[in-house]
C-alpha cells in the first residue's frame, strides 16, 4: 500500500494552499494537508514557539491516525519543519520533498528584517504585510491569472490572527541551521523551486540539494515561490513521477530541469 502524503504549507498560509495537489493525489493515496500551528485552524498558544513545536504537532497527528510512514512534502517554512522532523523521526519518512525552502538559519540582517516586519504588523495590522508579501511570492502579477492568484494569496494571509503571525515569525527567526545534518538524510529526496523565486532563490535550493546524497533537483520556469499553485500541472507531474520511482527527466518537464547533485562535484 502506498504511503500517505503529508503536505506542510509555508508561512503565512494554511493547508488549503495544497488544493491542486489534494485534488490530484486524493484518489491515489491518503493525503494530509493540515493547518500548521498559528495558521488557519491550527494549534494556538501564548508562549513563544520553536520549530520543534511544529514537529511535535505533526508527530501527534500521525500517531493519532496510526500512520507509521509518510511521503513528507514541505514548502518554505514547511521545509524547515520537514528537515527537523526527518532529523528527529527518520524512520517515519519514506521520501522527502522540499519546495522553495532552505537549510541554513537566518543571517543577522534577515533577523533584523523579521523584527521590522513584526513591528509593522504590531503597529499597522496585516493589511500592508499581506499586500506586499502576496506580490513577493508570485513570479509576476501582470496577467489576469496572476492577479487572481495574488488576491487568493492575500486573502489567505488575512485569515490569520496577527498575534499568531507574529509568534510564527519568532519561530522562523529562532530556527537552527540544518545544513550539517543534510548529509544524514538517507531517503530519496527531491528539491523543487520556481525559477523566479524571490523568497528563497533557486541557487539556495540547488546548494541544499547538492548536500543531500540521494537527491533530485527541479527548477520550474514561470513560477515564483508559490510554484505548486503557479504551475500545478508541472508540480504534480514532478511529484507523482518522483514518489513512484519513475525516471525524473522527460520532455514534459522541459520547462524545468533535474540534476543528480553527486554528478556536480567541484
Express each pLDDT in 192-242 by its tens digit: 999 999 999 999 999 999 999 989 999 999 999 999 999 999 999 999 999
Question: 37 Cβ partners below 8 Å, 6+ apart?
Answer: 43, 44, 45, 49, 53, 54, 57, 168
pLDDT tens per residue across span 99-124: 999 999 989 999 999 999 999 999 99
pLDDT at res. 184: 95
Domains and CATH numbers, the chain: 5-105+177-263 (3.40.50.1820)
| Overall average pLDDT of the 145-173 stretch | 93
pLDDT tens per residue across span 39-71: 988 888 777 899 999 999 999 999 999 999 999
Whether residue 11 is predicted with pLDDT greater than 60 in this model: the reply is: yes
Q: Rounded CA gap, 137 and 51, in Å?
A: 22
Q: Rounded CA gap, 78 and 214, in Å?
A: 20
Q: What is the length of the chain?
A: 266
Cell 520532455 maps to which residue? 251
Query: How does residue 246 score in pLDDT terms, banded at 50, 70 and 90?
Result: low
Whether residue 167 is predicted with pLDDT greater than 70 in this model: the reply is: yes
Q: How, if at all, do strands 256-259 and 215-220 pair?
A: antiparallel
Whether residue 23 is predicted with pLDDT greater than 80 in this model: the reply is: yes
Amino acid at each position: 500500500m502506498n504511503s500517505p502524503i503529508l503536505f506542510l504549507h509555508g508561512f503565512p498560509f494554511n493547508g488549503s494552499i495544497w488544493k491542486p495537489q489534494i485534488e490530484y493525489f486524493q484518489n491515489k493515496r491518503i493525503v494530509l494537508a493540515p493547518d500548521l500551528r498559528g495558521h488557519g485552524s491550527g494549534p494556538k498558544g501564548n508562549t513563544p514557539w520553536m520549530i520543534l513545536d511544529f514537529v511535535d504537532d505533526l508527530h501527534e497527528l500521525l500517531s493519532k491516525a496510526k500512520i507509521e510512514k509518510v511521503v513528507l512534502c514541505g514548502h518554505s517554512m514547511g521545509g524547515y519543519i520537514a528537515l527537523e522532523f526527518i532529523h528527529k523521526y527518520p524512520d517515519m519518512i519514506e521520501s522527502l520533498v522540499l519546495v522553495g525552502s532552505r537549510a541554513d538559519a537566518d543571517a543577522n540582517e534577515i533577523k533584523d528584517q523579521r523584527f521590522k516586519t513584526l513591528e509593522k504588523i504590531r503597529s499597522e495590522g496585516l493589511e500592508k504585510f499581506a499586500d506586499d508579501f502576496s506580490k513577493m511570492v508570485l513570479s509576476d502579477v501582470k496577467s489576469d491569472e496572476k492577479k487572481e492568484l495574488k488576491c487568493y494569496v492575500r486573502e489567505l494571509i488575512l485569515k490569520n490572527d496577527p498575534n499568531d503571525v507574529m509568534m510564527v515569525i519568532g519561530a522562523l527567526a529562532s530556527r537552527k541551521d540544518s545544513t550539517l545534518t543534510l548529509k544524514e538524510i538517507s531517503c530519496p529526496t527531491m528539491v523543487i523551486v520556481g525559477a523566479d523565486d524571490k523568497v528563497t532563490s533557486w541557487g539556495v535550493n540547488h546548494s541544499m540539494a547538492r548536500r543531500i546524497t540521494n537527491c533530485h533537483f527541479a527548477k520550474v520556469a514561470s513560477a515564483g515561490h508559490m510554484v505548486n499553485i503557479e504551475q500545478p500541472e508541472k508540480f504534480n507531474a514532478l511529484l507523482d513521477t518522483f514518489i513512484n520511482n519513475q525516471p525524473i527527466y522527460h520532455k514534459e518537464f522541459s520547462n524545468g530541469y533535474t540534476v543528480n547533485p553527486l554528478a556536480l562535484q567541484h
